[in-house]
Amino acid sequence: MTDSRGRPLYLAEQVREIDRRTIAAGVEGFALMQQAAMAAYDAMRKTWPTLRRISVCCGSGNNAGDGYVLAALAACDGLSVQVIALRDPQELDGDAGQAVAMARRAGLKFQPWQPNMRISGELIVDALLGTGLSGAVREPFSAAIDAINAAQLPVLAVDIPSGLSADSGAVLGRAVKADLTVTFIADKLGLHTGSASAYVGTHRLEALGVEASRQADIEPCAMLLDEMLIPRCLPPRARDAHKGDNGHLLVIGGAPGFGGAALLASETAARLGAGKVSLATAPAHVTASLVRCPEVMVHGINSKGELEALIEGADVLMVGPGIGKGAWGQAMLQAALASDKPLVVDADGLNLLTTHWPLEYRDNWILTPHPGEAARLLESSAGEVQQDRRQAITELRRRRGGAIVLKGAGTLVADQEGIAVCPFGNPGMASGGMGDALSGMLGALLAQGLSLDEAARVGVLLHALAADRAVAAAGERGLLASDLASYARFLSNPGLSNPILNNPGTSDAYNPEE
């Protein structure tokens, strides 16, 4: 179920509690297990309709039970089924024990896991560990996961790829790389952020008739952003609108020798509809800005005093791209922080906050760190941030206020509404300038009157979706941050008919960059 904010996401323990309450309300646990296995089996058959042989790897607990039931269903459907047991099936009890008995009644034999054993199926079903894993994967499961990944066969993960944290999306030592993951009852945060995109494959939620939202005391830990938020926040403009209605954004960046980032942010902001965009940059970059985008009003700035006059005339400030860590950048950021105007801070602006304004807290700014910048703000490491992105962004917002955008695969947004996750984006975005383009979008949206929370969420959506459309047109390799502006422009005008947006797989679709 999706509400106006997107699809609710939960932590593993929350889903287990919903499961417990469902059973306590009268739904038999084994019946729920059978529904889960049937849903996973149906998804498998639809995805790989010509399968004749499968290998089902079962561990312990209810995840293994799902695997044994699925194996029984496959056998009854005429498939050849190899069941590989990582734990002695005789030791399984409760619902999982009933699942083992069902598999035996279907005529299946169980092969104990052995290193270097032959996996005979055309597809592997991963039912090893489930969502209960908290520490690092241990033997024999680690060896089995390695064997699954080395088999170069398609993989169906039951509920979650084994070894992936259901709460953080971190890999707990090693994890199964699935082609399809079918998760049950309620969606899990860890399937959408951190390392999830490299391990989950195609994602399906099967609620099994359970409505998690009815548990009013179990609040989702996050929301999965829905692209329908864009038209809700960006309705058509009034027919008599003028540029003053759409705000004045001042971009501050581009220390001597580092002008490109600020130029990119400014042009992207202009494409996203800010009524006026000004750029305060080192004098050496003025000519390049005028040539690149004459619509941006560029000012060569040498001192804090010169910048203060420009700040007075702006509605929103965006500071950081190419600002550097030297005296010029420090003076620019100091002037911006002295204002009470809405503010977006990125790049070296974040690093300067760490070193010179470690206690600065504001309710009207958006901070946009990548994991390395977040680690510096938190006095930790990028690895620690990635191990628990939700905890990291929660702590960042507690310390700094406003809205926080933690970039990376499965970008997170933390604001007064809670935490949101962006399900869009692609590896082509791993190139220079992407963060500058995002900051320009965020500043433009704030200038047009979106609230802090709306700007952060819509900006992240537009940025990722624009990259996906650009990749659909020309591929991931070679994607540039400057490619995003025109795609984002189309996306920010909902209802506009454009072939590349409506059918991104069309090879001869119109390219708005041409």
pLDDT tens, position by position, 294-351: 999 999 999 999 999 999 999 999 999 999 999 999 999 999 999 999 999 999 999 9
- Is the N-terminal amide bond of 140 cis, ω within 30° of 0? yes
> Above 60 in pLDDT, residue 213?
yes
> Above 80 in pLDDT, residue 511?
no
Numbered residues of the known binding site for (6S)-NADPHX: 130-136, 159, 261, 322, 370, 436
> Which of 224, 252, 268 is the last residue in one of the domains?
224
**Residue 49, domain CATH:** 3.40.50.10260
> Which of 192, 224, 256 is the last residue in one of the domains?
224
Are residues 303 and 190 part of one domain?
no
Q: How far apart are CA 145 and CA 200, in angstroms?
A: 14
Q: Which residues contact 226 (CB under 8 A, 6 or more apart)?
A: 2, 5, 6, 7
Q: Which of 69, 59, 2 is nearest to 30 (CA)?
A: 69
Q: Which of 254, 269, 355 is nearest to 307 (CA)?
A: 254
Q: Which of 286, 283, 296, 289 is nearest to 250 (CA)?
A: 296
Q: Which of 4, 109, 77, 6 is nearest to 419 (CA)?
A: 6
Are residues 284 and 208 part of one domain?
no
Are residues 348 and 201 part of one domain?
no
Does residue 334 lie within any of the structural domains? yes
Strand 365-367 and strand 343-345: the pairing is: parallel
- Please give the share of the chain, as a percent, with pLDDT higher than 90: 89
* Section 9-31 average pLDDT: 95
**What pLDDT score was predicted for residue 332?**
97
* Section 214-235 average pLDDT: 94
Does residue 133 lie within any of the structural domains? yes
Q: Which of 345, 282, 281, 335 is nearest to 312 (CA)?
A: 335
Does residue 512 lie within any of the structural domains? no
User: pLDDT digit string (tens) for 48-93?
Assistant: 999 999 999 999 999 999 999 999 999 999 999 999 999 999 999 9
SS3 of 156, please? strand
Q: Which residues contact 477 (CB under 8 A, 6 or more apart)?
A: 428
pLDDT band (50, 70, 90) for residue 453: very high
pLDDT band (50, 70, 90) for residue 239: confident
**What pLDDT score was predicted for residue 498?**
53
**What pLDDT score was predicted for residue 495?**
75
Are residues 279 and 157 part of one domain?
no
User: pLDDT digit string (tens) for 253-279?
Assistant: 999 989 999 999 999 999 999 999 999
Give strand pairing partners of 232.
Answer: none
- Please give the share of the chain, as a percent, with pLDDT higher than 70: 96
Q: How far apart are CA 86 and CA 91, in angstroms?
A: 11
Does residue 509 lie within any of the structural domains? no
Numbered residues of the known binding site for AMP: 407-411, 435
Which residue's structure tokens are 């090879």? 507
pLDDT band (50, 70, 90) for residue 4: low
* Section 15-35 average pLDDT: 95
Q: Where are the beta strands (DSSP E) in 115-273?
A: 123-127, 155-158, 180-184, 187-188, 202-206, 222-224, 248-252
**What pLDDT score was predicted for residue 236?**
84
Strand 365-367 and strand 316-319: the pairing is: unpaired
> Above 90 in pLDDT, residue 506?
no
SS3 of 215, please? coil
Are residues 13 and 49 part of one domain?
yes
Q: How far apart are CA 362 and CA 360, in angstroms?
A: 7
> Which of 224, 256, 289 is the last residue in one of the domains?
224
Are residues 209 and 269 part of one domain?
no
H or E stretch at 413: strand 412-415
DSSP-derived secondary structure for 220-242? -SEEE--TTHHHHHSPPPPTT--
Q: Where are the beta strands (DSSP E) in 98-216?
A: 110-112, 123-127, 155-158, 180-184, 187-188, 202-206
Q: Which domain holds residue 261?
A: 229-234+243-502
Structure tokens at 184: 């049950």
**What pLDDT score was predicted for residue 512?**
30
Q: How far apart are CA 251 and CA 243, in angstroms?
A: 17
Which residue's structure tokens are 């179990």? 218
Are residues 253 and 160 part of one domain?
no
Does residue 183 lie within any of the structural domains? yes
Q: Of the given ranges (35-49, 124-138, 452-466), which has the lowest mean pLDDT?
A: 124-138
Q: Which of 93, 45, 101, 40 is nearest to 66 (CA)?
A: 40
Numbered residues of the known binding site for K(+): 63, 126, 162
DSSP-derived secondary structure for 274-320? -SEEEEEE-GGGHHHHHHH-TTSEEEE--SHHHHHHHHHT-SEEEE-
Q: What phi and psi values does residue 57 have, to the nearest 5 degrees?
A: -100, 115
**Residue 446, domain CATH:** 3.40.1190.20
Numbered residues of the known binding site: 63, 126, 130-136, 159, 162, 261, 322, 370, 407-411, 435-436
Whole-number mean pLDDT of the chain? 93
Are residues 425 and 343 part of one domain?
yes
Are residues 122 and 88 part of one domain?
yes
CB-based burial, 347-362: b 16+ in 10 Å, e otherwise? bbbbbbbbeebeeeee
Does residue 514 lie within any of the structural domains? no
Rg (Cα) of the chain, in Å, rounded? Answer: 26
**What pLDDT score was predicted for residue 353?**
97
Are residues 116 and 208 part of one domain?
yes
Are residues 326 and 179 part of one domain?
no
Does residue 405 lie within any of the structural domains? yes
Overall domain count for the chain: 2
Are residues 311 and 205 part of one domain?
no
Q: How far apart are CA 501 and CA 332, in angstroms?
A: 39
Strand 297-300 and strand 276-281: the pairing is: parallel
For residue 5, the tally of other CB atoms under 10 A from its CB is 18
Q: What phi and psi values does residue 128 have, to the nearest 5 degrees?
A: -90, -55
